[in-house]
Structure 1
Amino acid sequence: MTTPTTAADRVADIDLISRDALFGNPVRSGGKLSPDGKFLSWMAPHEGVMNVWCAPFDDPDNARLMTHAKDRPIPQYFWSPDSSALLYVQDKEGDENYLLYKVDVASGEESCLTPFENTRIQIVGASETIKDRILVGLNNRDPRFHDVHILNLTTGALELVFENNEWAGFTADDSLTLRWAERQNAAGGLDLHMITDGDISAEPDEVIPMDDSLTSGMGGYTTDGKTLYWRDSRGRNTGALFAQDTETGERTLIAEDDRADIGGSLSHPVTGELQAYAVTYLRTEWHCIDKGIKSSLDWLREQLDGDFGVQSRTDDDTKWLVWNDPLTAPIRSYIYDRAADRLTPFYVTKPELEGTPLQPMHPREIPARDGLTLPSYLTLPAASDDNGDGVPDAPLPMVLLVHGGPWARDGYGFNRTHQWLANRGYAVLSVNFRGSTGFGKDFINAANLQWSKTMHDDLVDAVNWAVHAGIADKDKVAIMGGSYGGYATLVGLTYTPEVFACGVDIVGPSNLETLLETIPPYWEPMVKQFHERMGNPTTEEGKQLLKDCSPLYRAKDIVKPLLIGQGANDPRVKISESDQIVGAMEGHGIPVTYVVFPDEGHGFHRPENNIAFNAIVEGFLATCLGGRAEKIGDVLGKSTADIRTGEELVKGLG
């Protein structure tokens, strides 16, 4: 028997999972029940683009195409409160100026409810008792601030409720009355002001310090307005769940967990009363307050393998749509009749993945050098771990996959990027480094002013852990990620070039000064948060810190291969961020592969573009780490990929 010598050799006998199967359009996704229970809706392709479809609940095969997106998939849709219409948002070529559209279910007539240029809509409030109206925020008057309007969903009429010249956000109750306004204070925290009869209190009624600002906030009112829910970390570390009596102001602690913030919740679709809540440390754990909900969730747990959750409910709460992640099979959705305790299959998102060699994900706790614990997730290639203990039989090339944000987190479950890279022969490790959300404020605040410093140390510590554990081959570790993950990639190749064999930067900033200079205008009301957590460009000390943490100024230190992907219309990380570092590298005679998509923004949302870029990534990693790669074929011709430089550096491209 021949001993495998490369990552490609190790998986040579494992079925190749195609990029199309992993990254192409799902057959169906995003299923919802209309509030009245008469209709089912979902997302599915039409002429290759994800659109919204609808069918009567009792005749699901009688489906109608409800939307007609031609170029970009519809990113989000929802039902009107009265079940008469489907609403969705859409931008143009990734500019994130989302407008609101309506499709009348009876007639199929489609219309734009916010026909403005350079405008980004916000949903401020919806109601269970006022079914034909919602509150929306529009920044068409001043791009920095969202004026609040009441939108008549029947006529399309917009009525100004509040002209906003200073506030970052609002909270409304079920009567569509604004009850709170919030804005950032000088310290980077949040001042919350009550609104009474349209008047905003002169002094803040609640103050959330900057340290608590990502772990505290309002969870919304019950329909009768008597209870206001909060997630609050003030006076503690993790965000706990409280119920506040709106008449007396008295707060009652409902739930807390020392490991993680209280996360998702289930509330009654009509009353808004809390029924269950979730805590996600390594995996999600649901806790029930309502006995009826507990009975239903317990029954579902007995029926379903892997993880599951409730994705949609009818107003009478007799029908649910339930998602199920079997973890080593494609995600599927069921219709759940609660009275009969009956599950009816609705769809499998990607049936072409049935029977493919999908691999389990291993939760891990990795120690950082200063004592912090980093919740992490590891996936190994098939046939690399004979005893299933999460340690391969021999060290493997590894991809360190870094999440964006950085104020976000990685989680447990089916992850198509993990599955793709593992199938190509790599161990894949995702690390919740300090600054990641969900693990309490101390974990978040440990990252303040630590970009490229202890935040990056965590990633290096995770690599060293993987090497010492026999998981990773020390000389064959790639770093890859999008947004902050792209920045971390650039940091990895400039600040610690000896650690990584190569890097893949997707829409990552290279210069923190110019990043903060070019943020979208509607982020301005919260910009102090960036200054406190990243560095303040209005001070000499802060400006120097941002410069010291910017990979651009160390471009000459890049000695390992680098692939950069960028959307030309990105409003968050402008194309100039990638242009700058590519120009700096070329000025030093350092090779780089640079791919631009002229019709994309912050990430690649058209499947053709995502597949094309991943084809390039496969060839790049195969060149650097020795894993296998599916032939590129004609995928580049189907995309808008513009390879501006470095085509000859990637296996299969030249």
Structure 2
Amino acid sequence: MRTAIRVTFLASAFVTSSTLIAAEPSDPPLIERTKLFGNPVKAYGRISPDGKWLSFTAPRDGVLNIWVAPVDNIDAAKPLTNERERPIRSYFWTPDSKQILFIQDKGGDENFLLYGVDVATAKQTTLTPFKKTRAEVVGISSRHKDRILVGLNNRDPKWHDVHSLNLKTGKLTLVQRNTGYGGFLADNDLHLRMALKSRDDGGMDYYRISNGKIETKPFATVGLEDALTTNPAGFTADNKTLYWIDSRGRNTAALIAQDVASGETKVIGESPKADISGTLTNPKTLQVEAYQAEYLKPEWSALDKDIGATLEWLKYKLGASPNVQARTDADDKWIVSADKVVEPSAVYLFDRKAGTLTKLYTGRPELVGAPLVPMWPVEIKARDGLTLPSYLTLPASADANRDGKPDRAAPMVLFVHGGPWARDEFGYNPYHQWLANRGYAVLSVNYRASTGFGKEFLAAGNLQWGKKMHDDLIDSVDWAVANGVTTPDKVAIMGGSYGGYATLAGLTFTPDKFACGVDIVGPSNLFTLLETIPPYWEAFKQQFYQRMGDPTTEAGRALLKEVSPLTYTDRIKKPLLIGQGANDPRVNKRESDQIVDAMKAKNIPVTYVLFPDEGHGFARPANNIAFNAVAENFLQPCLGGRAEPIGDGLKGSTIQVLNGSKYVNTLDQSLASK
């Protein structure tokens, strides 16, 4: 960014006695971007159901691929796949331990196909060989290990037909043609037992399936208020019990066990402040043995005494709440890890019989000893009294004694989560660590509409995009200023998806509140956003309409226009950086194009970065590193923090700067050398 732009945009009406932190000799060394955002050495550690193999993803020629090793010798690992462009980010073992299945799309288009690779021969097969198709796993059985159920929308992009996939031959057999249902639930015999269908009010109806036929009348109805907090969670192995995560008749979603024969239900797990967010299930019986809820920090509650003792022992040994990543069928070996925030996560093999923990790997060993800083849970009061569970990370120079209370004010980045029906969580966050290392306080706020805190908190965000949801973010900035975290003239807003929308809203609805903004794949026009949602979201379209605004009504269209940042482009007067994936199926490239074109038409500076091989976010590490290189050199003159020079940070990426490269320090030179 040129100095002239900074002076024009950052002239502040505030006079403050607070002292902002400048770079000092006592500042910790810069952590290189590549160490935070490059490929991990290993990730996604798993163990095969039969306990014979370890698996993980690791770089092969610079791209994350799947590797396997004998369970007793991880050093003998060999690559099983050979992806050359996009990293493998999701995989799982087949029940018979003979194959590993993974999904992969092209260029971020989210048309995920399902692939299988034989562990013995490394032969790879495309199991869903269709174009413009998104495969989804519908059912996996602990009893029938030779097949699984998959959903395919190759016949109609809106609806997924259910097929049985023979894992040995790859043959697909149609099980259920989908005539308008948003999803299906299978039991442990791979029989479809339930179908769900969207209601006009944004809720869901649930229908029983008997002998392959869907009943005409729903056996359960879930209204809009419970639609995002109530879902069936699977059957036990004997198919006699059905679990639900259920908020009906209560605020926070509880863990419910329902007797299939009688229909009787029983609450077996609940939390007064948070929804049940996860379960630990016995691999043989499929009975829930423990459940997790997270208000400010994740907490396990055990239903089984032995499992409870095991979790407590693991917490003691690991130094933090354990994450159980995989269990063998015999349940004699687990893959576990723990998040200590200020250390890179390590993964262990836990032998239950021997009572031993064997370290398998540290995912990012290059961060061992790095100046990582703590994350602090905080509760912030919104102007209407709603409590906002949030997370604050302070730079080392602003919190010398690490007590979570600032010694002096620092520039701050308000980092807003996407969704918006998602949440920020406690734990190691590379963005918090990166920005704090550059000298910024980082605040992430669970604004109303965030999930995990009960249906009332979620519903408080209905029709409040750019309104009370935005007020929550403004109130959080005011809290940070009042508590000495930052000063009012040195706050940036940054985020992806809804967080990108919040960035654009911040610079248009409250143009004097933020010094600058970084929008990553954020929508600028909510009407065109709803026009271009993926077809396979058809079943949930009414939920969008009820929670955002209905584009089929005059009142809804007026609301969507009112809360679209594009409507107020002429109010933007602070520096803006936009990052977009060309193939984004959720937030179409047009969302970024529209506001950039409008700004250019009004001679308002903006920097616009495009990645032609990405979708909703940047999956390729080289692209993520490149964008973050641009972002920190955009933020540095705006907030006065530190920045690692762009240097060769663009190499290996497909970055295209469509507008405003001159507004980011040394970006033109780096593009020329790339």
2: CA distance between counterparts of 1:348 and 1:108? 26
1: CA distance between counterparts of 2:652 and 2:159? 39
2: CA distance between counterparts of 1:198 and 1:636? 54
Segment of structure 1 superposing worse, 418-427 or 194-203? 194-203
- Displacement after TM superposition at 1:8 (Å): 4.8
Segment of structure 1 superposing worse, 9-18 or 464-473? 9-18
Given that residues 493 and 559 in structure 1 are in contact (C-alpha distance below 8 angstroms), is that contact kept between their aligned partners in structure 2? Answer: yes
1:545 maps to what in 2?
A: 559
Amino acid at match of 1:173: D
- Displacement after TM superposition at 1:13 (Å): 3.2
Given that residues 11 and 425 in structure 1 are in contact (C-alpha distance below 8 angstroms), is that contact kept between their aligned partners in structure 2? Answer: no
Aligned partner of 2:250 among 222, 229, 236: 236
Instruction: Kindly indicate whether residue 311 of structure 2 is the aligned counterpart of residue 294 of structure 1.
Output: no
1:117 maps to what in 2?
A: 131
2:463 maps to what in 1?
A: 449
2:93 maps to what in 1?
A: 79
Instruction: Kindly indicate whether residue 544 of structure 2 is the aligned counterpart of residue 530 of structure 1.
Output: yes
- Displacement after TM superposition at 1:231 (Å): 1.2
2:424 maps to what in 1?
A: 410
Name the SS for the 2:558 alignment partner.
Answer: helix
Q: How high is the TM-score relative to the length of structure 2?
A: 0.96
- Write out per-residue CA displacement over residues 360-403 of structure 1, whole angstroms, 9 at most, x where no aligned residue: 00000000000100000000111321343322211110000000
- Structure 1 segment 491-530 matched on structure 2, within 5 A: 491-530=505-544
Given that residues 11 and 424 in structure 1 are in contact (C-alpha distance below 8 angstroms), is that contact kept between their aligned partners in structure 2? Answer: no
2:65 maps to what in 1?
A: 51
Same amino acid, percent of matched pairs: 59
- Structure 1 segment 245-324 matched on structure 2, within 5 A: 245-324=259-338
RMSD value over aligned CA atoms? 1.1
Amino acid at match of 2:628: N
2:173 maps to what in 1?
A: 159
Amino acid at match of 2:100: L
2: CA distance between counterparts of 1:597 and 1:510? 18
- Displacement after TM superposition at 1:294 (Å): 1.3
Name the SS for the 1:295 alignment partner.
Answer: helix
Amino acid at match of 1:457: D
Amino acid at match of 2:50: D
1:602 maps to what in 2?
A: 616
Aligned partner of 2:200 among 181, 186, 191: 186
Given that residues 157 and 536 in structure 2 are in contact (C-alpha distance below 8 angstroms), is that contact kept between their aligned partners in structure 1? Answer: yes
Instruction: Kindly indicate whether residue 219 of structure 2 is the aligned counterpart of residue 217 of structure 1.
Output: no
2:629 maps to what in 1?
A: 615
Amino acid at match of 1:290: D
Given that residues 7 and 426 in structure 1 are in contact (C-alpha distance below 8 angstroms), is that contact kept between their aligned partners in structure 2? Answer: no
| Structure 2 CA distance for partners of 1:393 and 1:114, relative to 1, 3 Å | same
Name the SS for the 1:327 alignment partner.
Answer: coil
Name the SS for the 1:128 alignment partner.
Answer: coil
Given that residues 52 and 67 in structure 1 are in contact (C-alpha distance below 8 angstroms), is that contact kept between their aligned partners in structure 2? Answer: yes
- Displacement after TM superposition at 1:638 (Å): 2.1
- Structure 1 segment 553-568 matched on structure 2, within 5 A: 553-568=567-582
- Displacement after TM superposition at 1:258 (Å): 1.4
- Write out per-residue CA displacement over residues 202-234 of structure 1, whole angstroms, 9 at most, x where no aligned residue: 111000111001111101000100000011111
- Displacement after TM superposition at 1:59 (Å): 2.6
Q: Which runs of 4+ in 1 moved over 2 A?
A: 4-8, 10-13, 386-389
- Displacement after TM superposition at 1:10 (Å): 4.3
2:348 maps to what in 1?
A: 334
Name the SS for the 1:635 alignment partner.
Answer: coil
Amino acid at match of 2:158: R
2: CA distance between counterparts of 1:505 and 1:58? 46
Name the SS for the 2:366 alignment partner.
Answer: helix
Consecutive unaligned residues of structure 1, counting only runs of 5 or more, are none
Amino acid at match of 2:516: C
| Structure 2 CA distance for partners of 1:646 and 1:251, relative to 1, 3 Å | same
2: CA distance between counterparts of 1:186 and 1:25? 44
- Displacement after TM superposition at 1:302 (Å): 1.7
| Structure 2 CA distance for partners of 1:373 and 1:560, relative to 1, 3 Å | same
1: CA distance between counterparts of 2:176 and 2:268? 34
- Displacement after TM superposition at 1:309 (Å): 1.2
Name the SS for the 1:45 alignment partner.
Answer: strand
Name the SS for the 1:61 alignment partner.
Answer: helix
1: CA distance between counterparts of 2:520 and 2:289? 40
Instruction: Kindly indicate whether residue 114 of structure 2 is the aligned counterpart of residue 104 of structure 1.
Output: no
1: CA distance between counterparts of 2:437 and 2:321? 22
Given that residues 306 and 327 in structure 1 are in contact (C-alpha distance below 8 angstroms), is that contact kept between their aligned partners in structure 2? Answer: no
Given that residues 400 and 463 in structure 1 are in contact (C-alpha distance below 8 angstroms), is that contact kept between their aligned partners in structure 2? Answer: yes
Amino acid at match of 1:357: P
Consecutive unaligned residues of structure 2, counting only runs of 5 or more, are 1-17, 669-674
Instruction: Kindly indicate whether residue 36 of structure 2 is the aligned counterpart of residue 22 of structure 1.
Output: yes
1: CA distance between counterparts of 2:401 and 2:264? 54
2: CA distance between counterparts of 1:525 and 1:352? 44
2:378 maps to what in 1?
A: 364
- Displacement after TM superposition at 1:55 (Å): 0.7
- Displacement after TM superposition at 1:263 (Å): 1.2
Name the SS for the 2:23 alignment partner.
Answer: helix
2:183 maps to what in 1?
A: 169
Name the SS for the 2:218 alignment partner.
Answer: coil
2: CA distance between counterparts of 1:494 and 1:226? 55
Name the SS for the 1:129 alignment partner.
Answer: coil
1: CA distance between counterparts of 2:114 and 2:153? 13
Instruction: Kindly indicate whether residue 35 of structure 2 is the aligned counterpart of residue 9 of structure 1.
Output: no
2: CA distance between counterparts of 1:580 and 1:310? 44
1: CA distance between counterparts of 2:652 and 2:27? 30
| Structure 2 CA distance for partners of 1:255 and 1:652, relative to 1, 3 Å | same
Amino acid at match of 1:59: N
- Displacement after TM superposition at 1:108 (Å): 1.1
Name the SS for the 2:205 alignment partner.
Answer: strand
Amino acid at match of 1:82: D
- Displacement after TM superposition at 1:306 (Å): 2.8
1:134 maps to what in 2?
A: 148
- Displacement after TM superposition at 1:524 (Å): 1.0
1: CA distance between counterparts of 2:396 and 2:321? 22
Given that residues 7 and 424 in structure 1 are in contact (C-alpha distance below 8 angstroms), is that contact kept between their aligned partners in structure 2? Answer: no
2: CA distance between counterparts of 1:636 and 1:262? 42
- Displacement after TM superposition at 1:75 (Å): 1.7
Q: What is the aligned residue count?
A: 651
Q: How high is the TM-score relative to the length of structure 1?
A: 0.98
1: CA distance between counterparts of 2:611 and 2:25? 32
- Displacement after TM superposition at 1:279 (Å): 1.1
Instruction: Kindly indicate whether residue 82 of structure 2 is the aligned counterpart of residue 68 of structure 1.
Output: yes
| Structure 2 CA distance for partners of 1:637 and 1:12, relative to 1, 3 Å | farther
Given that residues 341 and 428 in structure 2 are in contact (C-alpha distance below 8 angstroms), is that contact kept between their aligned partners in structure 1? Answer: yes
Aligned partner of 1:383 among 397, 415, 425: 397
Amino acid at match of 1:241: L
Given that residues 7 and 625 in structure 1 are in contact (C-alpha distance below 8 angstroms), is that contact kept between their aligned partners in structure 2? Answer: no
